[in-house]
Structure 1
Amino acid sequence: MEQPEAILIAGPTASGKSALAVAVARRVGGTVVNADSMQVYDGLRILSARPAVDEMGGVEHRLYGHVPPDAPYSAGVWLREVEALLPELRLRGQIPVFCGGTGLYFKALLGGFDDLPEIPSTIRERWRARMAQEGPTALHRVLTGLDPEAAARLRPSDPQRILRALELFETTGAPLAQLQRGAGAGLVEGAKALKLVLTPDRALLRERIARRFDAMLAEGAAEEAEAFSARPGAATGLAANAIGVAELARLRAGELTQSEARDLSVTRTRQYAKRQETWFRHQFDETWLRFADPAEALAALEARLPGLA
C-alpha cells in the first residue's frame, strides 16, 4: 500500500504496543501520539506504564502526561487535542502513529463517536461530589432510575462511565443510547490509515502483566502512588482509577501486605486486559490487521509499506 496518512496501533495492556509504535515511527518518520486514557495524566508514569525517556528511542511523543490529576478529561477532549495536533504534524511531514489501549479513542478518531455536548462545570462538580461521597454502586442505582438501558451496559464498579452517563443525562435530558449513534466526524480516514491490533496469547499476556507490575514496584510505584495521592484533587479525579493507586494506598494504610497489594493489582490488570480484548474483538472490523506479537506485526508492516525497512 501507499504511505498511510496515519498508523493506528491498539492492544491490551502489556502487549508491547508502545515499543512497536517507537519502532514503526522511527522507520516512517513519525510521531507517537498517545491513545490511552490513563497515560494522559501527570504523576502516574510508572503505574500507567507511560514510556520513559529511554524507551522513546529518540522519537517524539505527544499527549502523554500533560493532564493534571484533578482535570476533567474524556474521549471528546482527547479528540479535540488530536484535531489541534494533526495540522502541526502534517506541516512537518510527520506521520502520526497512534498508540494505546483505549478503544473509544480509536473509535472517535475514525468517526464512530458522537460530538457530545460539553458538560457544564456545575453539573460535573455536583456529580463528582456525589461520587466521592456515595460511591459508584449508589450512583449506578441512580442511573438505573434515569437511564436503565445505559445502567445495564455499565458495571456498578465503573465510576468514570457512570459519571459520564449521569452528566450527559442531566445536560441533555436524553438517554445515552440516543446520544451515541456513532455519527461524529472522524479525523482520520480509515481507508488511508494502517490499522493494527495486537492479540497476544492469553497465558503469555497474564505472565507479562505480573512481571511488569513487579518491575513497577521495583522502579518505585509505591512512592509514585503516595506522591500522586497527595496532589490536590487526585483522590476524586478520574486518574484515581489507575490500577495500583488504591491498592498501594491500602498498603500504606496497613490494610494490605505488599504481596496482597501486588496480587490485587495484577488481578485487576488482567481483568482490564480481558475487557480490552473483548472490546477490540467486537468493535474492530476486518480492516484491522491482527498480530500475536510486536515482532510479527513489524515484519508484516515492513513487507507492506515501501521503504519501511
Structure 2
Amino acid sequence: MALNKTLVVVVGPTGIGKTALAISIARQFQTEIISADSRQFFKEMEIGTAKPSTEELAAAPHHFINSHSIETLFSTGDFEVQAIALMEQLFKKHDLLVMVGGSGLYIDAVCKGLDDLPEIDLNIREQLNDQLANEGIESIKKQLSEYDPEYYQKVDQANPQRMIRGLEVYLSTGIKLSSHLTNSKKTRPFNIVKIGLNMDRTALYNRINHRVDKMMESGLLEEVKSLRSYRKLNALNTVGYSELFNYLDGESTLKEAVDQIKQNTRRFAKRQLTWFRRDDSTAWFEPGQDDAVISYISKTTD
C-alpha cells in the first residue's frame, strides 16, 4: 500500500457530534467510515450505545456497526487485525478513509498497533467475570495490585475490563501484563490525519444530560430488561446498562439510576478528553465547523 493513502481519524468525547462530522467528511471525499466505538460493535446494544440512526447509516457506508454479538469475545487486538485487513481492501478503491470513535485504545490499536500478547485461558476470564459479579470491583483491584502493581498503577481503575485483562494474562501465563507492554509503535502504510472535537464543558455536559433523557424516552430501560440474562458479559459492564441493572435489582430508584448514568457519562467524557489531548498531532475544532475541517484535511492531504 502506497503512502498516498490517508486515514482521517475523528475523535472526541461522547455526545459531541463525531458521527455527523464523519459523515460530512465521508460524503465530501466519497468514501467509507470505520467505527472505532467499542460499544457500537454489538448488535444487541442499540439505544444505550447511541449508534448512528438509520438515516445516518444510509448517508455513507459504515463498518463495525452491529458487526458482532455480545456473546462473542472481541478484543482490542481482534479489532486491530480486522480493521487493518478491512482498510487494506477499502484503500484499493479509496485514497481516503474515515475512522470515528471515542474508544482511545481502539483508535491507538489501528494508528500505532498493540503489543503481541499471549493467548489467555478463557476459563480464567470467565472465573474473573464471575468474581467481579459476585465480589465487586474491589476484589479485582486488590488481586491486580498484588500480582502486577506496575500495570495496576497505569490502568484505568474504574474500568473492570482493563483490570481483568491484566489479571487474566498473569493467571494464564505467570508473566505480568506490564512485562509484555513495550510501547513499540508499528509503522502503518498510510498517512494519518487526526481531527478532535471539543467544546465548552458546560455545553457538552448539557448535551450529554439531554441525550440520556432521549435514550430513556426511546426505551433504554426496556432494552436493558431484555438483556438482563446476559448482564455478566463484558460488553454489558458499561455506562447506561450497569446503572439500570442496579435499578432492576432494587439498589436504586429509577431517577437515581438515570442521574448516575448522566454523571458516569460526564466522567467518561472527561477521561476521553484527557486521553485524546495527549496526542499533539490532533487538530482541534468545535462541532459545526465541518467546512473548516474539510478544508484542513484537503490542505493536509495535498
Structure 1 length normalisation: TM-score?
A: 0.88
Task: Tell me the secondary structure at the aligned position of residue 18 of structure 1.
Answer: helix
Q: How does 1:1-150 map to 2 (within 5 A)?
A: 4-93=5-94, 95-150=96-151
Against the structure 1 CA distance between its residues 5 and 45, is the aligned structure 2 distance closer, same or farther, given a 3 Å change threshold?
same
Q: 1:290 matched to which residue of 2?
A: 284
Q: Distance in 1 between matches of 2:19 and 2:272?
A: 16
By how many angstroms is 1:3 displaced?
7.2
By how many angstroms is 1:187 displaced?
4.3
By how many angstroms is 1:188 displaced?
5.5
Residue 301 of structure 1 aligns with an amino acid whose one-letter code is: I
Against the structure 1 CA distance between its residues 278 and 170, is the aligned structure 2 distance closer, same or farther, given a 3 Å change threshold?
same
Q: Is this contact kept in 1: 2:4–2:95, CA < 8 A?
A: no
By how many angstroms is 1:5 displaced?
1.8
By how many angstroms is 1:264 displaced?
0.8
Tell me if 1:228 matches 2:227: yes
Percent of residue pairs identical = 32
Q: Distance in 2 between matches of 1:102 and 1:288?
A: 15
Q: 1:299 matched to which residue of 2?
A: 292
Task: Tell me the secondary structure at the aligned position of residue 6 of structure 1.
Answer: strand
By how many angstroms is 1:171 displaced?
3.3
Q: Distance in 1 between matches of 2:93 and 2:139?
A: 50
Structure 2 gaps, min length 5: none
By how many angstroms is 1:200 displaced?
1.8
Specify which of 265, 268, 272 is matched with residue 269 of structure 1: 265
Task: Tell me the secondary structure at the aligned position of residue 30 of structure 1.
Answer: coil
By how many angstroms is 1:67 displaced?
2.0
Q: Distance in 2 between matches of 1:215 and 1:242?
A: 18
Deviates more, 1:253-262 or 1:159-168: 253-262
Q: Is this contact kept in 1: 2:8–2:194, CA < 8 A?
A: yes
Specify which of 221, 227, 233 is matched with residue 237 of structure 1: 233
By how many angstroms is 1:209 displaced?
0.2
Residue 158 of structure 1 aligns with an amino acid whose one-letter code is: N
Q: Is this contact kept in 1: 2:120–2:169, CA < 8 A?
A: yes
Against the structure 1 CA distance between its residues 207 and 164, is the aligned structure 2 distance closer, same or farther, given a 3 Å change threshold?
same
Q: Is this contact kept in 1: 2:125–2:168, CA < 8 A?
A: yes
Residue 220 of structure 1 aligns with an amino acid whose one-letter code is: G
Against the structure 1 CA distance between its residues 65 and 27, is the aligned structure 2 distance closer, same or farther, given a 3 Å change threshold?
same
Against the structure 1 CA distance between its residues 87 and 14, is the aligned structure 2 distance closer, same or farther, given a 3 Å change threshold?
same
By how many angstroms is 1:25 displaced?
0.6
Q: Distance in 1 between matches of 2:255 and 2:86?
A: 42
- Partner deviation per Cα, 1:271-307 (whole Å, 9 max, x = no partner): 111111111122x12x21111x23225423235417x
- CA RMSD in angstroms comes to 2.2
Structure 1 gaps, min length 5: none
Q: Distance in 1 between matches of 2:198 and 2:112?
A: 23
